[in-house]
Amino acid sequence: MGKCCSYIVLLMSVLFFVACRTARPVSKEETHNGVTKLRSRHMKRLVEFAALQLNAPYKWGGSSPKGFDCSGFTWYCFNHSGLTLPRTALEQSTSGKKVRGRKAKTGDLIFFKGPDHQQKKVAHVGIVVSGRKQNIKFIHAGSKGITISMLREDYFRKRFKGIRRVRR
């Protein structure tokens, strides 16, 4: 039994040494005020979490799986991932940094003006799932609940306002 314990201690020591040698320290670029930046893999998880909410009902002012409005949905998903967003689509449209459509990435916020063609303010928000330019797919809370839509659809293409990247 003494020999077995020695092997276990040796094995644990080797595993500890290997783990310490392969662990990568977090660089200054990856942190901001002690908060680790969310990389693309984290954004992928955010979108996967958002997809779990598919078919949840629409509810004006809602911010839970019992019912979401568009900004309540994005707020809920980002909050779950450790990111704080303002509550309304208009306020969210000033978060992060502006991104061109061809540079859109999974987890970016995508914004639209309202259905009134005269309206210029942001009135709707979603989360980019995939794609570039007009082929952008996004998940959002619409009148039929949480759904995935395409930017190339006339309704969204005509109302598109921009994309923002929030990563901290």
CA distances (Å), origin 168, targets 42, 99, 116? 11, 15, 33
The active-site residue, picked from 4, 42, 117, 124, is: 124
Helix, coil or strand: residue 41: helix
Which token pair is 45?
Answer: 């998880």
Which token pair is 6?
Answer: 């020695």
The one-letter amino acid code at 24 reads R
The active-site residue, picked from 32, 77, 80, 140, is: 140
| Residue 147, φ and ψ in degrees, nearest 5 | -150, 165
The active-site residue, picked from 20, 32, 70, 77, is: 70
Active site residue 80: no
Instruction: Enumerate residues 6+ apart whose C-beta is below 8 A from 118.
Output: none
Which token pair is 126?
Answer: 């979603």
Active site residue 70: yes
| Residue 123, φ and ψ in degrees, nearest 5 | -135, -5
The residues carrying an active-site annotation are 70, 124, 140
